[in-house]
Structure 1
Amino acid sequence: MRFVVRRLLLFVAALFGLSVVVFAALRILPGDVASIMAGVNAPPEKAAQLREQLGLNRPLAIQYLDWMGALLHGDFGTSILTGRSVTSLVASRASITFPLIILGLLIALAIGLPLGCAAVLARSARVRAAFHVLAIIGGAVPALWSGLLLILLFGKGTGLVGILPSQGFPMDGWTTPGQALLALILPALSVGIIVGASLMRYTRSALGDLADSGYIDMARSCGMTRTQAVLRVGLRLATPQLVSVIGLTFASMITGVMVIENLFALPGIGNGLVTDVGNRDLIAVQSELFLLAAFFLGVGLVVDVLHRILDPRLKSADTVSEVAA
């Protein structure tokens, strides 16, 4: 409990620091925020009206406190362009982005974990080298290039085997789950292949360090084969490290799918954020950036707690440190 409380306090402190950074970042832009949102050729009266409407003529400290007070009550502001609340905008976009990330991560796990284990278990030096080259090539492929290649191969109307939609998302959303899932397959493959190559390298590195350790030797002395020892003992010992990598990968994929969402015309969080920035809807951008930052920190908090639970050695090390102190 002491560890969790300490992490929660750090989480709250980091959220406060990020809120200050996000708020200040949009206030230090060249020129006036209201003038930027109104447009270059807008008359001064429109900028003044917008400044009054958004409360931008008040002191910065008051603006920040009002914004934080609204956030604490679940009010993330209103989009100037659409008139919709930022909460509903983010929720509708998240219903596309998060399923895309989860599906891409599942594909990455299906690729990275088995191939990483196979690379460690391979006895031939040539086979290990082939896995190494495959991981490097897969990780070096740009997401834009892999997406275009998949569209040319499997996209309806343009691909050699046109079986999957390559543009847009159903207007009905997830009320038609079959069509919605089909719309995400090609984008998820584009992300999953690249992330899978990275997970393959991490898995191979984590298991490779354990393959020649005393843990594996002890397991083999109990009658296990090398393959059984690596998969049953080595993979279990490497689980805390892999959980950390997978959790941080999941968080980073939110920004990583921006290119994919634009390529496949998916109205997700990344695509929406780029659109809001381009349309100068800076009040919506301010809350969206804060929500993304809070999500990153939340995932980091969950990963820390899971790592602590899965690896008892961390608890033992802290106990020894406390006794020594």
Structure 2
Amino acid sequence: MRFLFRRFLILVMTLLGLSLLIFVAVRILPGDLASVMAGLNAPPERVEALRSQLGLDRPLPDQYLTWMADLARGDFGRSLLTGRSVSVQVGDRAAVTFPLIGLGLLIAMVIGLPMGCLSLLASKPWVRSLVHVLAIVGGSMPALWGGLLLILLFSRGSGLLGIFPSQGFAQGGWSTPGKALWSLVLPALTLGLIIGASLMRYTRAALADMLGSGYMDMARACGMTRTHALLRVGLRLALPQLVSVLGLTFAEMITGAMVVENLFALPGLGSGLVSDLGNRDLIAVQSELFMLAAFFLLVGFLVDMIHRLADPRLKAAGEGGSGTSTRQVTA
């Protein structure tokens, strides 16, 4: 309970700090929101009236406290350009981004975990070298270049095979799940290939650490082969590290999906945030940034909890009564 309370307190304090940072960062952007809203040829009186209506003429501390009070009530405000609720707007975009990230992460796991194991278990050196080269190439490949290559190979119209759509989302959204999922295949492949290469290196490094441990020696002494011991014992012991990597990778993929969403013209969180920034829709931008920051921190909090549950050694160290060992394990 002390561990949970401490992590939750850190989460709340970090959210408060990030909210202040987001509020200040958005306010120092060039341009004036009231001027953008009023139009290019609007008279100064119209601009001032709009600024007063939006509350932009009040002191910044008052604006910040009002915004935080609205957030505490679950009111993320309304877009000043579209008039829609920011929470509804983010929800519509998240219905594209989160399935895209989930599918991309699934592809990354299908590629990264087996290839990471193969890079250690392969008996032939050329196979291990080939997997290592693929990991380097995939990890260094820019998302824009990889997406364009997939479009040239598999997209309808301009691709060699012409299988998948390359632009936009399904007209009816998830009311037509087959078309919606089909439109996410190429973007998810772009993300999955790049993330899969990184996951492959993480898996290989985690299993390589296990090869020289006493756990593997004990498994071999019990009659297991090297391959059997690595897959049954080593992979299970490396699971907490991989859970941490997968959780943080899932959160980071939201911002990493910006390039992919713009390339494939998907109405997701990344492309929507870029659009709102270009339109100087400050109310929407600051609430969207806060929601993304809160999501990152929440994922980190959940990863801490899952890591502690998946690795009994951390819990045992916390309950052992030794403050020194607890601090060492936490560090």
Using the size of structure 1 for normalisation, the TM-score is: 0.96
Q: What is the aligned length? A: 325
Task: State whether residues 308 and 314 of structure 2, in contact with CA within 8 Å, keep that contact through their aligned partners in structure 1.
Answer: yes
Partner of residue 322, structure 2: 321
Q: Give the percent of matched residue pairs that are identical in Structure 1 and Structure 2.
A: 67
Deviation at 1:123, TM superposition (A): 2.7
Partner of residue 261, structure 2: 261
Compared with structure 1, are the counterparts of its residues 324 and 7 closer, same or farther at alpha carbon in structure 2 (3 Å cutoff)?
A: closer
| Runs of 5+ consecutive residues of structure 2 not aligned to the other structure | 327-331
1:92-241 → structure 2 map (5 Å cutoff): 92-241=92-241
Distance 1:41 1:243 in 2: 55
Per-residue CA deviations over 1:219-247 (Å, capped at 9, x if unaligned) read 01111111110000000000000000000
Task: State whether residues 27 and 33 of structure 1, in contact with CA within 8 Å, keep that contact through their aligned partners in structure 2.
Answer: no
Deviation at 1:213, TM superposition (A): 2.0
Per-residue CA deviations over 1:284-314 (Å, capped at 9, x if unaligned) read 1010000000000000000011111111222
Compared with structure 1, are the counterparts of its residues 120 and 39 closer, same or farther at alpha carbon in structure 2 (3 Å cutoff)?
A: farther
Partner of residue 300, structure 2: 300
Partner of residue 34, structure 1: 34
Range with bigger deviation, 299-308 or 49-58: 49-58
Per-residue CA deviations over 1:129-167 (Å, capped at 9, x if unaligned) read 221111000111111111111111110111111011111
Local SS of the residue matching 1:188? helix
| Runs of 5+ consecutive residues of structure 1 not aligned to the other structure | none
Deviation at 1:184, TM superposition (A): 0.3
Task: State whether residues 317 and 325 of structure 2, in contact with CA within 8 Å, keep that contact through their aligned partners in structure 1.
Answer: no
Per-residue CA deviations over 1:102-134 (Å, capped at 9, x if unaligned) read 000000000000000111112333322221111
Compared with structure 1, are the counterparts of its residues 245 and 147 closer, same or farther at alpha carbon in structure 2 (3 Å cutoff)?
A: same
Compared with structure 1, are the counterparts of its residues 324 and 215 closer, same or farther at alpha carbon in structure 2 (3 Å cutoff)?
A: closer
Distance 2:41 2:225 in 1: 74
Range with bigger deviation, 23-32 or 12-21: 23-32
Partner of residue 285, structure 2: 285
Partner of residue 72, structure 1: 72
Distance 1:216 1:263 in 2: 46
Range with bigger deviation, 200-209 or 34-43: 34-43
RMSD (Å) for aligned C-alpha atoms: 1.6
Distance 2:77 2:218 in 1: 59
Per-residue CA deviations over 1:28-76 (Å, capped at 9, x if unaligned) read 3346543455566543223212211211111222111111111111111
Compared with structure 1, are the counterparts of its residues 176 and 134 closer, same or farther at alpha carbon in structure 2 (3 Å cutoff)?
A: same
Range with bigger deviation, 237-246 or 165-174: 165-174
Q: Does 2:78 align with 1:90?
A: no
